[in-house]
Amino acid sequence: MNERSRHRVLLIRAWDHQTTGASCCGRLDGGGEFGDAADFAPTRADMTTMGVVYRSLKASLAAEVDVQVVDPRNTTWLVPTLVRDAWRAEHQAGHVWKTVRRGTDPGAVVVDGRVVANGLRTDAETVTQIVRSALAAA
């Protein structure tokens, strides 16, 4: 969380599969040389969906809520952050384990150490309402 934030919302984006020629700085897109297969279309659709969720949350939440989009491959940052936030929220090992297990799923929406929704399976308006409810209960 940044210095001004009281709350943290994490949006775990889809895994961006690495293939030859793709890296963290650039991605392959569209069809391949050997056919018209849109190899990356499902991943792009998931990223677009999470983008809509992100914009909805940023537009409707107060500035003191820290909304972050996280790559699930960044386990060096993600897992300790989930553990820290979950422990702050519940102080129970079972809750912490559940948060780490579910909080690394693509599409997970984590509010202050609690997995509250999956942004890939729920529309942006509903996710925003769920997040607002979770923040109000905190």
CA gap 88, 116 in Å, rounded: 16
Residue 32's pLDDT is what? 55
Which residue is associated with the tokens 């889809």? Answer: 14
CA gap 68, 25 in Å, rounded: 19
Q: Is the pLDDT of residue 20 over 70?
A: no
DSSP H helices, the chain, are 41-60, 75-90, 93-103, 124-137
Residue 113's pLDDT is what? 95
Strand 65-70 vs strand 7-12: parallel, antiparallel, or unpaired?
parallel
- pLDDT digit string, tens, across residues 28-62: 555 555 555 555 666 677 777 888 999 999 999 97
- AA identity, residue 87: W
- pLDDT digit string, tens, across residues 58-81: 999 978 799 999 988 899 999 999
Q: Is the pLDDT of residue 7 over 90?
A: yes
- AA identity, residue 133: S
CA gap 130, 137 in Å, rounded: 11
Residue 129's pLDDT is what? 94
On whether the CB atoms of residues 11 and 119 are closer than 8 A, the answer is yes
User: 53 phi and psi, to 5 degrees?
Assistant: -60, -45
